[in-house]
Structure 1
Amino acid sequence: MRLWLFLRLWSALWHLGLPVVLVYLWWRGRKDAIYARHLGERFGRYGNGLPGAVWVHAVSLGEMRSAVPLVRALLDRGDKVVTTHFTPAGRREAARVFAADIAQGRMRVVWVPFETSWAYAGFFRAFRPVAGLVMEIEIWPRMIFAARRAGVPLFMCNAQYPTKSMARDEGFPLRHALMRGFAGAFVKSDLQAERFASVGVDNVEVTGELRFDQPIPPAQLAAAAVVRPWLAGERAVVTFASVVEGEDAIYLEAIEAALAAGGARPFFVYVPRKPERFDEVAAMIAARGLKALRRSEILDAALVPLGAPVAADILLGDSLGEMYFYIALSGGVVTGGGFTPKGAHNIIEPLALKCPVIVGPEVHTIEYPATEAIEAGVCLRVETPEALRQALGPDGWAGPTAEEIEDFFAEHAGATARTIEALDRQLTSR
Structure 2
Amino acid sequence: MRLWLFLRLWSLLWHLGLPVVLIYLWGRGRKDVVYPRFLGERFGRYRQSMSGSIWVHAVSLGELRSAVPLIRALLDRGETVVTTHFTPAGRREAVRVFASDIAAGRMADVWVPFETSWAYRGFFRAFRPKAGLVMEIEIWPRMIFAAKKAGISLFMCNAQYPTKSMERDAKLRLRHNLMQGYAGAFVKSDLQAQRFASVGVKNITVTGELRFDQPIPPHLVAAAEALRSTLAGDRPVITFASTVEGEDDLYLDAIASALRHPSRPFMVYVPRKPERFDEVAAMLANRGLNALRRSQALDATFGAKTLPSPHRGGGAGGGGQQQAPTPDILLGDSLGEMYFYIALSDRVVTGGGFTPHGAHNIIEPLALKRPVIVGPEIHTIEYPATEAIAAGVCLRVETPEALTKALTDWQGPGPEMIEAFFAAHSGATQKTLAALDAALRQK
TM class by smaller structure? over 0.9
**For residues 117 and 298 of structure 1, what CA distance do their matches in structure 2 show?**
51
Matches within 5 A, 1:242-253: 242-253=242-253
Tell me if the contact between 2:238 and 2:266 (Cα under 8 Å) persists in the aligned partners.
yes
Provide the TM-score with structure 2 as the length reference: 0.96
1:47 Cα deviation after fit: 2.1
Counterpart of 2:316 in structure 1 is none
Structure 2 residue 365 is the aligned partner of structure 1 residue 366: no
1:48 Cα deviation after fit: 1.7
Q: Equivalent of 1:412, from 425, 431, 440?
A: 425
User: Secondary structure of 2:269's partner?
Assistant: strand
**For residues 68 and 16 of structure 1, what CA distance do their matches in structure 2 show?**
36
**For residues 48 and 400 of structure 1, what CA distance do their matches in structure 2 show?**
51
Counterpart of 2:161 in structure 1 is 161
Query: 1:27 is matched by which residue type in structure 2?
Result: G
Runs of 4+ more than 3 Å apart:
none
Counterpart of 1:390 in structure 2 is 405
1:264 Cα deviation after fit: 2.6
1:309 Cα deviation after fit: 2.8
Query: 2:109 is matched by which residue type in structure 1?
Result: V
Counterpart of 2:323 in structure 1 is none
Counterpart of 1:291 in structure 2 is 290
> Structure 1's 136 and 242: CA in aligned 2 closer, same or farther, altered over 3 A?
same
Query: 2:407 is matched by which residue type in structure 1?
Result: L
**For residues 231 and 359 of structure 2, what CA distance do their matches in structure 1 show?**
28
Counterpart of 1:234 in structure 2 is 234
RMSD: 0.7
Structure 2 residue 379 is the aligned partner of structure 1 residue 339: no
Query: 2:350 is matched by which residue type in structure 1?
Result: T
Matches within 5 A, 1:120-131: 120-131=120-131
Counterpart of 1:265 in structure 2 is 264
Counterpart of 1:78 in structure 2 is 78
1:171 Cα deviation after fit: 1.2
**For residues 66 and 18 of structure 1, what CA distance do their matches in structure 2 show?**
30
User: Secondary structure of 2:30's partner?
Assistant: helix
**For residues 181 and 147 of structure 1, what CA distance do their matches in structure 2 show?**
9
List runs of 5+ in structure 1 lacking aligned partners. Answer: none
Render the CA deviation track for 1:74-112: whole Å, top value 9, x for unaligned: 000000000000000000000000000001000000000
1:307 Cα deviation after fit: 4.5
Q: Equivalent of 1:402, from 405, 415, 425?
A: 415
**For residues 212 and 415 of structure 1, what CA distance do their matches in structure 2 show?**
7
Counterpart of 1:425 in structure 2 is 438
Query: 1:411 is matched by which residue type in structure 2?
Result: A
**For residues 263 and 221 of structure 2, what CA distance do their matches in structure 1 show?**
25
Counterpart of 2:114 in structure 1 is 114
**For residues 272 and 411 of structure 2, what CA distance do their matches in structure 1 show?**
27
User: Secondary structure of 1:201's partner?
Assistant: coil
Query: 1:254 is matched by which residue type in structure 2?
Result: A
Matches within 5 A, 1:83-162: 83-162=83-162
**For residues 308 and 43 of structure 1, what CA distance do their matches in structure 2 show?**
50
**For residues 337 and 35 of structure 1, what CA distance do their matches in structure 2 show?**
26
Give the stretch that moved more between structures: 71-80 or 309-318. 309-318
Render the CA deviation track for 1:96-138: whole Å, top value 9, x for unaligned: 0000000100000000000000000000000000100000000
The percent identity for this pair of structures is 76
Render the CA deviation track for 1:168-194: whole Å, top value 9, x for unaligned: 001111110000000000000000000
Tell me if the contact between 2:266 and 2:328 (Cα under 8 Å) persists in the aligned partners.
yes
User: Secondary structure of 2:11's partner?
Assistant: helix
List runs of 5+ in structure 2 lacking aligned partners. Answer: 310-325
**For residues 419 and 226 of structure 1, what CA distance do their matches in structure 2 show?**
37
**For residues 207 and 308 of structure 1, what CA distance do their matches in structure 2 show?**
45
**For residues 175 and 259 of structure 1, what CA distance do their matches in structure 2 show?**
47
**For residues 343 and 304 of structure 2, what CA distance do their matches in structure 1 show?**
16
**For residues 217 and 383 of structure 2, what CA distance do their matches in structure 1 show?**
24
Query: 1:426 is matched by which residue type in structure 2?
Result: A
User: Secondary structure of 2:51's partner?
Assistant: coil
Render the CA deviation track for 1:349-402: whole Å, top value 9, x for unaligned: 000000000000000000000000000000000000000001112xx1131110
User: Secondary structure of 2:8's partner?
Assistant: helix
1:308 Cα deviation after fit: 4.5
Provide the TM-score with structure 1 as the length reference: 0.99
